[in-house]
Chains A and B, each alone.
Chain A
Amino acid sequence: MTTTVANRAPQDTRGSWLTYLGLGIALLFSAFPVYWMFVIATSTDEAVAAFPPALLPGGEFLANVREVFTLNEVYFAASLINSVLVSSVITVATLFFCSLAGFAFAKLRFKGRNGLMVVVILTLTVPNQLGIVALYIVMGKLGWNGTLLAVIAPSLVSAFGVFYMRQFIAHAVPDELVEAARIDGALTLRVYWNIVLPAIRPALAVLGLLTFVMAWNEFQWPLIQLNGTDFPTSMVALSDLASGNYVIYRRVLAGAFLATVPLIVLLLIGGRQIVRGIMEGAVKS
Chain B
Amino acid sequence: MSLTELRPAARQPAPPPPPGQAKHWLYRFDTKTIPYIFISPFFILFAIFGVFPLIFNGIVALRNWRLDDPTLTGWAGFANFSRLLSDEDFWNALGNTFGIFILSTVPQLLIALIIANLLNRKLRGNTYWRIGILLPYLTPVVASTLVFAIFFARDNGLANWFLSLVGFGQEAPLDWRAQKWSAWIAIAAMVNWKWIGYNALLYLSAMQAIPRDVYEAAAVDGASPWRQLWKITVPMIQPVVVFTVILSTIGGLQLFNEPMMFDENPQSADGGSAHQFQTIAQLIYKVGWKDLDLGYAAAMSWALFLIILIVAGINTLLTKRIGGDR
A interface, CB within 8 angstroms of B: 1-3, 5-15, 19-20, 22-23, 26-27, 29-31, 33-34, 36-37, 40, 48-53, 97-98, 100-101, 103-105, 108-113, 116, 119-120, 123, 125-138, 153-154, 156-157, 159, 162, 175, 178-179, 182-183, 185, 187-189, 192, 213, 216-217, 219-220, 223-224, 227, 235, 238-240, 242-245, 247, 249, 252-253, 256-257, 259-260, 263-264, 266-267, 271-272, 274-275, 278-280, 282-283, 285
Docked-complex contact B193 and A267, CB < 8 angstroms: no
Stretch at the interface among B81-89, B96-104, B282-290, B315-323: B282-290
State the Cβ distance, A91 to closest chain B Cβ, in Å: 15
Tally of contact residues, B, Cβ under 8 A: 124
Stretch at the interface among B71-79, B177-185, B225-233: B225-233
Docked-complex contact B225 and A156, CB < 8 angstroms: no
Docked-complex contact B142 and A23, CB < 8 angstroms: no
User: Besides A50-B156, A52-B156, A219-B257, 15 other CB < 8 A contacts?
Assistant: A1-B225, A6-B225, A10-B120, A19-B121, A23-B115, A26-B133, A123-B46, A130-B54, A157-B41, A220-B256, A238-B146, A239-B142, A253-B146, A257-B143, A271-B134
Q: Which residues of A have CB within 8 Å of B36?
A: 110
Specify the main secondary structure of chain A where it touches its partner: helix
Docked-complex contact A19 and B147, CB < 8 angstroms: no
User: Which of A185, A219, A271, A279 sits near B141, CB closer than 8 Å?
Assistant: A219
Docked-complex contact B143 and A110, CB < 8 angstroms: no
Docked-complex contact B53 and A131, CB < 8 angstroms: yes
12 A-B pairs (CB sep. < 8 Å): A8-B212, A10-B233, A14-B122, A132-B288, A154-B50, A217-B140, A220-B257, A239-B142, A240-B267, A243-B265, A256-B143, A279-B205
A227 CA to B122 CA, complexed, in Å:
49
A274 CA to B131 CA, complexed, in Å:
8
A279 CA to B261 CA, complexed, in Å:
30
Given contacts A11-B121, A14-B122, A253-B150, contact A34 B139 (CB under 8 A): yes
Docked-complex contact A97 and B305, CB < 8 angstroms: no
State the Cβ distance, A72 to closest chain B Cβ, in Å: 17
A125 CA to B161 CA, complexed, in Å:
42
Docked-complex contact A110 and B115, CB < 8 angstroms: no
Docked-complex contact B308 and A105, CB < 8 angstroms: no
Q: Which residues of B have CB within 8 Å of A274?
A: 131, 134, 138
A119 CA to B148 CA, complexed, in Å:
40
A259 CA to B284 CA, complexed, in Å:
27
A54 CA to B157 CA, complexed, in Å:
11
Q: Which residues of B have CB within 8 Å of A192?
A: 38
A108 CA to B18 CA, complexed, in Å:
20
State the Cβ distance, A273 to closest chain B Cβ, in Å: 10
Q: Which residues of B have CB within 8 Å of A249?
A: 150
Q: Which residues of A have CB within 8 Å of B214?
A: 9
* A-facing residues in B109-124 (Cβ within 8 Å): 114-115, 117-124
User: Which of A138, A162, A279 sits near B204, CB closer than 8 Å?
Assistant: A279
State the Cβ distance, A89 to closest chain B Cβ, in Å: 13
A101 CA to B56 CA, complexed, in Å:
26
Chain B, residue nearest A253 (CB)? B146
